[in-house]
Amino acid sequence: MGITTQIIGLIASLGILVFIHELGHFVFARIFKTRVEKFYLFFNIGFSIVRMKTVNGKREFSFFSKSAPESWKEDPETTEWGIGWLPLGGYCSIAGMVDETKSADQLSEEPQPWEFRSKKTWQRFLIIIGGVLFNFISAILIYILMFYHWGETYIPLDNAKYGYQFTEVAQKVGFKNGDEILLVDQNKPLDLADFSKQLLIDDVKSVTVLRNGEKVEIAIPKDFGKQVVGEGKGMFCTYRFPFVVDRVIEGMPAQKGGLMAHDSVISVNGVEQLSYYNYVDSFKQNPQKQLILGVMRGDQLVELTVTPNEEGMVGVYPVNPTQFLQSETTYYTFWKSIPRGLNQGVKNLSMYVKQFKLVFTKEGATQIGGFGAIGKLFPKAWDWYIFWNNTALLAIILAFMNILPIPALDGGYILFILVEMVTGRKPSDKFLGYANTVGFILLIALLLYANGMDVIRGFFK
């Protein structure tokens, strides 16, 4: 069920976000009395799973059809609602608008009152920006409800009593496993997420750590963020915690070797190690080689032989680090969750905008990912908190990406409308058609590249 759960989570999240985005266009279009010809969740290339349209006051349905019934054309005022089979997006086909559903040649000679192109400039602006606006508002609403329902749980920096584990890039800068974080440029971060954000996207000059009871100052190079992105491991720093087994995966080396839930692993091949991640490294460095694990089972020390598979994995889930590191939870009333949710939405948008500059570096280009990379954000075991947190984050990313001034994206339309507002000259429908074609080709190329990188990483890393 692991990968299947990830796929379900990804499709469900994208489905919610696509629906909300297109709903933003739809709502503003209807406010300004603009016809919406079609509203589709997912693309219906070749056929639709289901279509629905109100014709002469009655709802009519069509399942697995290649095209809408001819009778539906008799009622152009109402919208055809549908679900496609390709979960890569969706669309809202607005009358009189050159977009992915129609070209300039398909529009009538004279603009009609109910068409997009006949509306005032500010009305067209709101219709276009409605999708982005609805996505950002939805992210804030999700955060508000999450803070109200779950509160906010985090591990304060001071509570990481085993110190932190660092990747190779961070160690080259000067960090060492076990370091405790004290200050970042003389300021104290709240938690690990705050610390990581500052080093990746802020202009940090130094970090003060506690190492073996002594304070050590580490100089941070300006290109540290690029180095971390180029490493391709995501987080460069995480909590250290003991290796206690939560559960083992059936049929994997851990189960075959006799590991059980609640076992505490204290050594590998006679070498004592503290951190769970040290054992993970040992497994990865010794694929298909027998390892002797020293294990405390209750008050007894036992030795077990475990052979990591060809990928250097043993198939075990550790106990959550919050079992060893004291966390703090802040609970919010509904009214207090509103400003907290708004702050979180603005904070994440700001962080993503700052991180976006890394995409245009050599290191960033190699780490661009498609649906495979996004799907890995979702756990293999269903978790509602993670699902909604990822959905809110993806809503912010979708809003930002759509506002970029690229033809075929909302930002491209907005750019042309803003030019029209300044110059008083409206681009021709043919020009918009050509621009959209170029933009669409660029987007397809980016989509192929991003998902191609997922495939390459899957086969060669």
The one-digit pLDDT tens for each residue of the chain (461 residues) are 567 888 888 889 989 999 999 999 999 999 999 999 999 999 898 999 999 999 988 999 999 999 989 888 888 889 999 999 988 788 999 988 876 666 666 666 778 889 888 899 999 999 999 999 999 999 999 999 999 999 998 888 888 889 999 989 999 999 999 999 999 988 898 888 888 888 888 888 999 999 988 999 999 998 888 888 777 777 888 899 999 999 898 889 999 999 999 999 999 998 888 889 889 889 999 999 999 999 999 889 999 999 999 988 898 889 888 888 888 899 999 999 999 999 999 988 888 887 776 665 655 555 555 555 565 667 767 889 989 999 999 999 889 888 888 887 888 889 889 988 888 888 776 777 777 677 667 766 666 555 555 455 455 55
- Write down how long the chain is: 461
- Alpha-carbon torsion (375, 377, 380, 385), positive or negative: negative
- Tell me the C-alpha distance between 292 and 282, whole Å: 11
pLDDT in the model for residue 186: 85
- Tell me the C-alpha distance between 311 and 293, whole Å: 18
- Tell me the C-alpha distance between 312 and 303, whole Å: 20
- Tell me the C-alpha distance between 397 and 403, whole Å: 10
Q: Which pair of tokens denotes residue 426?
A: 């409206």
Q: Which domains does the chain have, with CATH numbers?
A: 33-118 (no CATH), 157-239 (2.30.42), 243-322 (2.30.42.10)
CB 334 within 8 A of CB 148: yes
- Tell me the C-alpha distance between 53 and 76, whole Å: 10
Say if residue 188 is exposed, middle or buried (CB neighbours under 10 Å; 0-12, 13-18, 19+).
middle
Q: Please state the φ and ψ torsions of residue 359, each to the nearest 5 degrees.
A: -65, -30
pLDDT in the model for residue 229: 76
- Tell me the C-alpha distance between 127 and 131, whole Å: 8
pLDDT in the model for residue 291: 92
Are β-strands 180-184 and 206-211 bridged in parallel, bridged antiparallel, or unpaired?
Answer: antiparallel
- Alpha-carbon torsion (18, 20, 25, 26), positive or negative: positive
pLDDT in the model for residue 411: 86
- Tell me the C-alpha distance between 329 and 150, whole Å: 9
Name the helix (H) or strand (E) containing 25. Answer: helix 2-31
Q: Please state the φ and ψ torsions of residue 195, each to the nearest 5 degrees.
A: -60, -50
Task: Tell which residue, 299, 256, 450, has the closest CA to residue 372.
Answer: 450
pLDDT in the model for residue 265: 92
Q: Which pair of tokens denotes residue 213?
A: 């009871």
pLDDT in the model for residue 105: 62
- Tell me the C-alpha distance between 154 and 224, whole Å: 25
Query: Tokens 């979960």 map to which residue?
Result: 87
**Which 8-state DSSP code applies to residue 186?**
T
Burial annotation 216-246 (CB, 10 A radius, 16+ → b, else e) = eeeebeeebbbbbbbbeeeebbbbbbbbbbe
